[in-house]
Structure 1
Amino acid sequence: MKQFFTYALTPLLALGLLAPAANAQQFTKRKQYNSVGVTLTAMNYFGDITPKPSIPSLRFGATRPNLGVTITHRFTPIISGRAGLSYGRITGSDNKAADQNDADAKYRYNRNMNFRNDIAELSFVGIVDLIPNRNNYIKRPDFVPYVFGGVAGYAGNPKGEVTDDNSVGLSKGSFVALQPLKTEGKSYNKAGIAIPFGVGARYKLNKSFDLGFEIGFRKTFNDYLDDVSTNYVASRASLTSGAAQYFGWDITGGGTAGVPGTWEETNQAGYKRGESKDDDWYVQAGFTLNYILAPRVKSPKFR
Structure 2
Amino acid sequence: MLKPILYSKYIVFIWLVSAGCLFAERAAAQNELEYVGELGFSVGGAQYFGDLNTRGALNTLKPAIGIYYRKYMNDYVGLRAHARFMQLGYSDVYNKNEFQNRRNLSFNTNLWELSLQGDFNFFRFEPGSLYERFSPYLTGGASIFHYNPYAYLNGVKYFLQPLGTEGQGTALYPDRKPYSLVSYAWLIGGGFKYNISKKVNVGLEALYRFTQTDYLDDVSTTYAGPAAFPALPSSQPTVAAQLQDRSSVKGSPIGVIGRQRGNSRDKDQFVTIELTISILFTSYNCKF
TM-score of the two chains, using structure 1 as the length reference = 0.74
2:26 corresponding residue in structure 1: none
1:92 corresponding residue in structure 2: 90
Alignment check: 8 A CA contact 2:34 2:282 kept: no
Hey, what's the Cα distance between the residues in 2 that align with 1:174 and 1:145? 46
Matched, 1:124 2:116: yes
Alignment check: 8 A CA contact 2:35 2:281 kept: no
1:191 corresponding residue in structure 2: 182
Structure with higher Rg: it is 2
What is the total number of aligned residue pairs between the two structures?
241
Matched, 1:81 2:79: yes
Hey, what's the Cα distance between the residues in 2 that align with 1:246 and 1:44? 27
Give the alignment of 1:1-303 within 5 angstroms.
31-50=34-53, 53=54, 57-60=56-59, 62-95=60-93, 97-99=94-96, 105-133=97-125, 137-139=127-129, 141-162=132-153, 172-186=154-168, 187-233=178-224, 235-239=225-229, 242-249=238-245, 251=246, 254-255=248-249, 259=250, 262-264=251-253, 268-297=256-285
Deviation at 1:84, TM superposition (A): 0.6
- Aligned-partner residue type, residue 236 of structure 1: P
- Aligned-partner residue type, residue 98 of structure 1: N
Matched position secondary structure for 1:268: coil
Hey, what's the Cα distance between the residues in 2 that align with 1:49 and 1:109? 10
- Aligned-partner residue type, residue 196 of structure 2: L
- Aligned-partner residue type, residue 263 of structure 2: E
Deviation at 1:209, TM superposition (A): 0.6
Hey, what's the Cα distance between the residues in 2 that align with 1:183 and 1:147? 39
Deviation at 1:30, TM superposition (A): 6.5
Alignment check: 8 A CA contact 1:32 1:75 kept: no
Hey, what's the Cα distance between the residues in 2 that align with 1:293 and 1:203? 16
Deviation at 1:286, TM superposition (A): 1.7
- Aligned-partner residue type, residue 245 of structure 1: A
Structure with the largest fraction of strand: 2
- Aligned-partner residue type, residue 147 of structure 2: G
Deviation at 1:293, TM superposition (A): 1.3
**Which ranges in structure 1 are unaligned for 5 or more consecutive residues?**
1-28, 100-104, 163-171
